[in-house]
Amino acid sequence: MFYPFIWGFDPTIVILFPAIIFTLYAQGKVKSNFTKYLNVPTIRNYTGYEVAKRLLDEQGLFNIPIEMTKGYLSDHYDPRKRVLRLSEAVYQGTSIASVSVASHEVGHAIQHAKGYIPLKIRNSIFPIASFGSSAAWLFIIIGLIIPELGGLMDIGILLFGAAVFFQVITLPVEFNASSRAINLLIGNGFIINKEIVGSKKVLGAAALTYVAAMATGIAQLFRLLLIRNSRRR
């Protein structure tokens, strides 16, 4: 039987086009907003590090160190090592973007400390999702090439599904961290007046990238199910 998925044009690829366009839009949005507000200093003039440190201390999280890391938008909270890492532009910057991203990562640290359920679920399935995202395609392709091993495709789809579920559960985690960030920034007076709008734009654009990743994953999963069903007819 001829499988266009492997040997030629696969018509199911069109399913991915809207998600790909959305992803490109989201990436452009986060880059433009981050770049714009990275050049807009806050009136209070606190650095991302100072904001993160004060917010962590306020929450009683004195044992979480803040490290400066290399890279562009490489900021993250590591729940395994309980370390908050900020890129140089965020760590040292006093801009709206700097304090917004720093407080967002503090939001993740607070989630971890308070046992936020979606975060606990995401952390628990991370090993499976990580393995699934890297190994799924190997199983899927072998299952397509060798019909006698078609069951491997089902395994690959299940592994890919685990990776998609990880993306789905990531959404409430990210939106909640951004909500916490805005409330903390406003409540502690780190941003005021029009700066609030800029902060929401930076965090909103970042959240959009996670929505795009989930949409792409779901579209790809649907496409794989169509391919599997068509080869069994």
Active site residues: 105
Cβ within 8 Å of residue 190, ≥6 positions away: 42, 44, 46, 51, 99, 103, 184
SS3 content of the chain, % helix, strand, coil (to 5): 75, 5, 20
Count other C-beta atoms under 10 Å from residue 10's C-beta. 15
Q: Tokens standing for 212?
A: 């795009």
Can you tell me whether residue 108 is helix, strand or coil? helix
Question: What distances in angstroms separate CA 149 from CA 96, 139, 145, 153, 226, one per listed residue?
Answer: 54, 9, 8, 8, 18
**Enclosing H/E stretch for 132:** helix 117-145
- What is the C-alpha separation between 21 and 219, in angstroms, rounded? 12
Can you tell me whether residue 116 is helix, strand or coil? coil
User: Contact, 217 vs 163, CB < 8 A?
Assistant: yes
First to last CA, the chain: 10
Bridge partners of residue 67, in order along the sequence: 85
Torsion, Cα of 120, 104, 29, 15 (10° steps): 0
